Amino acid sequence: MKSKLHLLEKINQIAKRKPQNILLPEADIDQRVFDASIKLANLGICNVCVIGKTKSLLDKYKKANFNKLEKIQIFDMDAMNQDIIKYANDLYLQRKMKGMKQKEAYELMHNVNYFACSLLKDNKVDGVVTGATFTTKEVFIPAIQIIGAKEKDHKISSYFIMMLNQEVYYFADCAVNINPDSKTLANIALDTANSAKLAGLEPQIAFLSFSTNNSASDQSIEKIQKAVKLAQEKAPQLIIDGEMQVDSALIPEIRNRKYPNSKLKDSANILIFPDLNSGNITYKMVERLAKSKAVGPILQGLNKPLNDLSRGCSVQDIVEISALTAFESINKLG
């Protein structure tokens, strides 16, 4: 996609027009998150919310010469014991059939990710950005247990926005589903297309493989072919095709030779990977070797917006993910 306005600038502008309450649970734990909270408040991208001890956080902001303290909302767990008891009881009632004990639920609610998810579910905040100091599993489990998926049989997935010069691509799934079946692959494609459309992209979706247009035969290819068919049936208005190799997906001249009847009109801008190995390896390779900017992973399929940071994230990464989380909240995406 070529745009006069950079995609992230566009998202920032939308976020600023309707500021959302975005919670950064690790601001009192990690310096990068703390610095990002200041930058977000100064830029006015969102209403910044943090978790921590009020006095120590206020002192920390003052030492950082940040004088817009009214732009920061602090959720102090020491002062919110009644909320913690309520949230713990809600979690216990929700999970007791799966063996969770009331004491365990109360102990878990003192974990900032569990508490953050409960604040999100309780509409105290509009979105959560966490994971700078936690593994994906430590972020994902409370999100599933408390926020939950939008649909019972619809799996949560993720995408990365990849930007190289003025070109924008969506890569999915590169962070969540290890070996998705055909139904999951189809839903990943449709969810990603919906996210991309809201950001102004006209989806051209390619399901990637080592095979193009049935040039090879294997069970793994059959899975992709079935996913393509399911996606096309569910969304006949979208441009969806595959299975195809990545050069066919991106270069029309090659595709015309290998796949002359393809539905794609131009270069694909949404690339659907058959498994997590291929997706994760590819996005990191493109990011490092092609010097592409990677923004994500952005989770999709949750009831409310929550996004998982990489533990190697920068302050700017946190700012960008926070803006995207606000954008998701504005558009009622999870």
Q: Give residue-wise pLDDT tens across range 230-245.
A: 999 999 999 999 888 8
pTM: 0.85
Does pLDDT of 2 surpass 50? no
* pLDDT tens-place string over residues 105-122: 899 999 999 999 999 999
Closest CA to 52 of 76, 35, 80, 21: 76
What is the CATH class of 7-148+303-330? alpha beta
- The predicted pLDDT at position 334 comes to 57
- State the DSSP H helix or E strand holding residue 38, giving kind and residue range, or none if neither: helix 31-43
Mean pLDDT of 250-278: 91
| Cα distances (angstroms) measured from residue 158 to each of 80, 112, 177 | 33, 22, 8
Outline where DSSP puts E strands in the chain. 21-24, 47-51, 72-75, 127-130, 157-164, 167-172, 204-208, 239-244, 270-272, 293-300, 306-308
Does pLDDT of 312 surpass 70? yes
- The predicted pLDDT at position 80 comes to 92
Q: CATH number of the domain at 157-289, please? A: 3.40.50.10750
As given in the structure block, the two tokens for residue 229 are 């068919």
* pLDDT tens-place string over residues 144-196: 999 988 877 788 899 999 988 778 999 999 988 999 999 999 999 999 999 89
Does pLDDT of 308 surpass 60? yes
Ordered by start, the domain boundaries in the chain are: 7-148+303-330, 157-289
- The predicted pLDDT at position 125 comes to 97
As given in the structure block, the two tokens for residue 104 are 């365990």
268 three-state secondary structure: coil
Q: Are 144 and 121 in contact (CB under 8 A)?
A: no
Torsion angle in degrees (nearest 10) through CA of 230, 282, 301, 131: 170
Q: Do domains 7-148+303-330 and 157-289 have the same CATH topology?
A: yes
Q: Are 52 and 37 in contact (CB under 8 A)?
A: no
Round to whole Å and give the CA distance between 231 and 188: 9
Does pLDDT of 278 surpass 50? yes
